[in-house]
Amino acid sequence: MIAGEVREWENTYYAADIFSAGEKRGLVTVGRVVSEDPGMRACAAWLKAVVKEVPAQWISAGDLYWRAI
């Protein structure tokens, strides 16, 4: 399973138990920023169309983690 954010603490333990039991399944979490960013972009576009008198702009959070090149 690929998830943006694990909301229940039991999910990670369940995934670990499944792996330990030899099942060929796993859990990958990509984090909040990566999974929510596209939705926030769509929300800003929607808001511009619905409430025209209020300026709305999507601002990317960018990469919050340092990555080696």
Q: Delimit the domains of the chain by residue range.
A: 2-50
Task: Indicate the pTM of the whole model.
Answer: 0.55
Q: Which residues of the chain have pLDDT under 50?
A: none
2 sits in which H/E element: strand 2-3
**pLDDT at residue number 22:** 92
pLDDT given at position 31: 74
The dihedrals phi and psi of 29, each to the nearest 5 degrees, come to: -115, 130
What is the structure's pLDDT at 21? 93
